[in-house]
Amino acid sequence: MDILNRVSDTITSASRDIARKTRETAEVARLNSAISGCQDRMKRTYLQIGEMYYMETKGSPYPDYEQLFQVIEECHRQIKGYRETISKVRENNEGTVKEFTEVCPQCGKTVETGAAYCSRCGAKMNESSTETMESEEIIEEAQEVEAEREQRQ
């Protein structure tokens, strides 16, 4: 009986230690999460202070900050250039998108004209659009032949 009591006491003691360690780990995780939240708020506040300082002293920063201001100005110029390039790309592609693409009936992605399957979802492209295109080409050819025949007569 004495052995059973010692085993029972050992198990009970180990269970208490495990429970205590579990509570301790949970509390440490909660506190670490709170610390992380405070650090994030501080970073956002520092960013706001920096942005406010930049906006207020844009034309005449303290000499220690001039190089940092130049980096920001260069980034602004690059962003403006990238946005202009995006606009040009979109303008140049507007006319060609409609001429050389079809829309997938399954997912709506634009797919190159004549493609058998959609490159996004794998759906079979609508054969009727390809057939319609071929029919239109045949009609155009027939009209050209007829116009040539009329000119000869």
| 3 belongs to a structural domain | no
Domain hosting residue 100, numbered range: 96-153
Helices of type H across the chain = 2-56, 66-100, 127-152
| 121 belongs to a structural domain | yes
pLDDT at res. 153: 64
Between 20 and 92, the more confident residue is: 20
Asked if the model's pLDDT at residue 91 lies above 80, the reply is no
Is the Cα torsion angle 48, 51, 56, 62 positive or negative in sign?
positive
Q: Average of pLDDT values for 60-66? A: 89
| 119 belongs to a structural domain | yes
pLDDT at res. 148: 75
Q: Average of pLDDT values for 83-92? A: 80
| 4 belongs to a structural domain | no
Q: What is the pTM of this model?
A: 0.43
| 100 belongs to a structural domain | yes
pLDDT band at 134 (very low <50, low <70, confident <90, very high): low
| 49 belongs to a structural domain | no
65 SS3 class: helix
Q: What is the mean pLDDT of the chain?
A: 81
Asked if the model's pLDDT at residue 133 lies above 60, the reply is no
Distance CA 151, CA 143 (A): 12
Distance CA 50, CA 39 (A): 16
| 106 belongs to a structural domain | yes
User: How many domains does the chain contain in total?
Assistant: 1
| 114 belongs to a structural domain | yes
Q: Name the phi and psi angles at 61, rounded to 5.
A: -75, 160
Q: Would you say 123 and 105 are in contact if contact means Cβ atoms under 8 Å apart?
A: yes
Share of the chain above pLDDT 70, in %: 78
CB neighbour burial string for 99-117, b if at least 16 within 10 angstroms, e if fewer: eeebebeeeeeebeeeeee
